[in-house]
Amino acid sequence: MEMRFLPAPFVVGVPRSGTTLLRLMLDAHPELAIPLETHFVPDLIDAAVDLPRGASPERLAEIVLSHRRWGDFYLDADELRERLRGLEQSTSPGNVVRAFYSLYAERQGKPRWGDKTPGYTRYMLKIQEALPEARFVHLIRDGRDVALSALRQDWGPNSVAKAAIRWKDRIEKAREEARGLDHYLEVHYEDLVLDTERTLRGICEFCELPWDPAVLRFYERAEKRLQEKARDLPPPPNRPHRSPRPGALRLLSHALVKEPPKADRVGQWRTEMSAADRVEYERVAGDLLTDLGYEVGFENQVEKLKKELAEERRRAERLEGEIGPLKRRNRNLKRQIRDIRASRSWKLLAKLSRIRAKVLGKMR
């Protein structure tokens, strides 16, 4: 009989969509611990799959310990190695990954764990295969507000158009991957901010986590939890020439989560985004904004109608192409019927003529 593990929330989404806010809210629950972004889990799963072909517990530990994010978790390296060695014959990818998360949760004095790594939208199926208990919470925010926030970051896109392309591409790919998931929930950032308790209750229910009002008071401990980010982050291995990202800068990017959610964080694009930038963003991603229920400008609606009209014209042309041969076939059929009718009429007239001749002959 397969062992059932308690559901583990995986918070994913486009960066600057509020994933840190949701992470701190859930982490405030007395039963749940969620570390800072991990990023190494897909590689750890792949290595665990290769265990029978030469990988080792030491190699698995090295994947985690050598990652530039390792220092964010403030765990003992030897203890992680010992956990992985202790798995012995139970070195399934799931157990290997659980060894890290459970160690982190224990250090926080909590029985359950989760994850918040926005980029795992690309690896949800892989993670689900290793961790059937994973519950993916995809946090979605109005892309125009995401763009305003991301463009202020030193790592963000350098244009509104690029921000729109990235937002649209990541959400569409996540939704495509979600078709194969057993447990997937989309949550709007706007609902999390404007209707916090109801939204969090829904997420807790999805994760089979008993409701606790402590999640509403996340800001009381947010500063302490964010101190894990106070250290300088080493550069990525593929960009060793870069300077470490200063801890102060890392903390600054999340300064707003130290206070309760404020309604003015929603719809900032209305006052802070120029009309030209808004039109440009909606030109690229307006269709997805509309599908997600976000308001778009008049210009975008006109553009959408133009696209729909063009599509209808193309559809009409395709139908005309399909109907054309049928029309020609119908004309041929009508011609054949006329020919048949003409032929039958001629035969009938000839027959009547012969009968008439016979009758006249007898009368003579």
117 Cβ contact list (under 8 Å, min separation 6): 10, 11, 12, 37, 38, 39, 41
What pLDDT was estimated at residue 240? 81
Q: Give mean pLDDT, residues 174-196.
A: 97
- Helices and strands, counts by H and E, the chain: 15, 6
What pLDDT was estimated at residue 174? 97
pLDDT range class, residue 280, cuts 50, 70, 90: very high
Q: Give mean pLDDT, residues 332-350.
A: 63
Q: Give mean pLDDT, residues 322-347.
A: 66
What pLDDT was estimated at residue 21? 97
Whether the predicted pLDDT of 37 surpasses 80: yes
SS3 of 182, please? coil
- Judged by average pLDDT, the poorest of 33-37, 141-145, 199-203, 332-336 is 332-336
CB distance 63 to 44 below 8 Å: yes
pLDDT range class, residue 75, cuts 50, 70, 90: very high
pLDDT range class, residue 132, cuts 50, 70, 90: very high
CB distance 58 to 77 below 8 Å: no
The neighbour count for residue 361, using CB atoms within 10 Å, is 8
Whether the predicted pLDDT of 324 surpasses 80: no
What pLDDT was estimated at residue 312? 75
328 versus 173: the higher-pLDDT residue is 173
State the pairing for strand pair 32-33/112-113: parallel
Whether the predicted pLDDT of 26 surpasses 60: yes
What pLDDT was estimated at residue 198? 98
Q: Give mean pLDDT, residues 58-83.
A: 95
Whether the predicted pLDDT of 302 surpasses 80: no
What pLDDT was estimated at residue 349? 60
What pLDDT was estimated at residue 337? 64
Whether the predicted pLDDT of 304 surpasses 60: no
What pLDDT was estimated at residue 1? 43
287 versus 335: the higher-pLDDT residue is 287
Whether the predicted pLDDT of 176 surpasses 60: yes
344 versus 356: the higher-pLDDT residue is 356
Most confident of 46-55, 56-65, 84-93, 211-220: 211-220
Angstrom distance (rounded) from CA 60 to CA 48: 7
122 Cβ contact list (under 8 Å, min separation 6): 173, 174, 177
What pLDDT was estimated at residue 332? 72
The neighbour count for residue 98, using CB atoms within 10 Å, is 21
**Percentage of the residues of the chain whose pLDDT score is greater than 70:** 84
Rounded (5°) CA angle 102-104-109:
90
Question: Under CATH, to which class is 8-291 assigned?
Answer: alpha beta
310 versus 93: the higher-pLDDT residue is 93
What pLDDT was estimated at residue 360? 60
CA 328 to chain centre: 49
362 versus 106: the higher-pLDDT residue is 106
Q: Which residues pair with 32 in a beta bridge?
A: 112
Sequence-ordered alpha helix ranges (H) in 9-140:
19-27, 41-49, 57-65, 77-85, 93-107, 124-130
| Residue 170: both structure tokens together | 């990541």
49 Cβ contact list (under 8 Å, min separation 6): 93
Angstrom distance (rounded) from CA 41 to CA 179: 21
Q: Mean of the per-residue pLDDT values for the chain?
A: 88
What pLDDT was estimated at residue 254? 85
What pLDDT was estimated at residue 128? 98
Q: Give mean pLDDT, residues 336-346.
A: 61
Q: Which residues pair with 233 in a beta bridge?
A: 245
Helix 143-150 to helix 160-178 angle (10° resolution) is: 130
pLDDT range class, residue 121, cuts 50, 70, 90: very high
213 Cβ contact list (under 8 Å, min separation 6): none
Q: Return phi, psi of residue 102, to 5°.
A: -65, -35
pLDDT range class, residue 252, cuts 50, 70, 90: confident
Look at the block and give the residue holding tokens 């904004």: 289
Angstrom distance (rounded) from CA 51 to CA 228: 32
Q: Give mean pLDDT, residues 146-168.
A: 91
